[in-house]
Structure 1
């Protein structure tokens, strides 16, 4: 599989580091263009590259890591998704200073994201963990870092589960985007910012 990121901040770089460590190719992208990522990809090594958002979005699995207000622009005018996997790692912070959570009514954040990426198989993951927990080795003496994920496509979830298990995370399927997404989202989700370990 080929992997891409839409966004190239701390979370995208942490995920890219796990990917290249596992032997996968990953293309990072941001809104400012590939030339701004030369130092980042050089640090990640030869399995990492930089491209446009449209190029990164053509990967088999794409990680969405941009800030919430930037999502519509990031997902606009992309090639048809055609069933490729989009991993939504975002949280619906309308603003950070002061913190304001976007009001989506009855809709979850990933349902909103899925509507902007028609025919993508969307998985919600990584948004409950602080960036430092994503970047660090998920294997600890007391157990593996639990990673909650949700989605509506069983095959996509199986592919995702196998991948993150290979990184060392302890993946926990919490159901569909609607129900699982509600458990994970900021502003009341009981799993938001829950950093748990699982003994194997």
Structure 2
């Protein structure tokens, strides 16, 4: 299994820190050439490997950490995303509800990635909290996962655990996805809730 993060802003770098903490290789890419990401990547850790967008797309499991509407640019890079898992960390806060055509924001993103296994996740925490060690007072920081494909959730939950988080599945995008999604001027009820799960 190989991993990539598309988008190397605050959220992309926070996710990269989670991979670096566990010495797991991950390709990071953005609109900028890979060499411009090298300094930040090296500062995070040796397993963070800058690449091109095409390098990132070649991975099995891809974190989408771009501004909301930029998902369309990424999605049109290849015609089918069959066999790939997309983990959508975007937020649509500030995106007018009417622009979403009555869909949950995650469903809008999912539709663009034809054939992918699609999971909404890792997006409810501010980047600074997401970047911090998820081991808290003997417990693990919670990340929420939501998908219309139950089979897609289990491997993403396993990855979350590998990274030190406690995954909680919230069900389909129209239900669970809305709990962790911003749109218009409102945030979902679970956004910014920094929860810790104890075994």
Answer whether TM exceeds 0.5 for this pair: yes
* Equivalences for residues 38-187 of structure 1 within 5 A: 38-78=38-78, 80-93=80-93, 100-103=94-97, 104-141=100-137, 143-186=139-182, 187=186
In the alignment, the residues of structure 1 paired with residue 96 and residue 192 of structure 2 have an alpha-carbon distance, to the nearest angstrom, of 17
Q: 1:199 to 1:108 in 2, by over 3 A?
A: same
| TM, length-normalised to structure 2 | 0.89
In the alignment, the residues of structure 1 paired with residue 96 and residue 60 of structure 2 have an alpha-carbon distance, to the nearest angstrom, of 29
In the alignment, the residues of structure 2 paired with residue 116 and residue 108 of structure 1 have an alpha-carbon distance, to the nearest angstrom, of 13
| Structure 2 unaligned residues grouped into runs of 5+ | none
Q: What's 1:96 paired with?
A: none
Q: What's 2:196 paired with?
A: 197
Runs of 4+ in 1 over 3 A off after TM superposition: none
| TM, length-normalised to structure 1 | 0.89
What is the CA distance between 1:79 and its match in structure 2? 5.8
| Structure 1 unaligned residues grouped into runs of 5+ | 94-99
Number of aligned residues: 194
What is the CA distance between 1:144 and its match in structure 2? 2.1
What is the CA distance between 1:188 and its match in structure 2? 4.5
Greater RCO structure (CA 8 Å; 6+ sep): 2
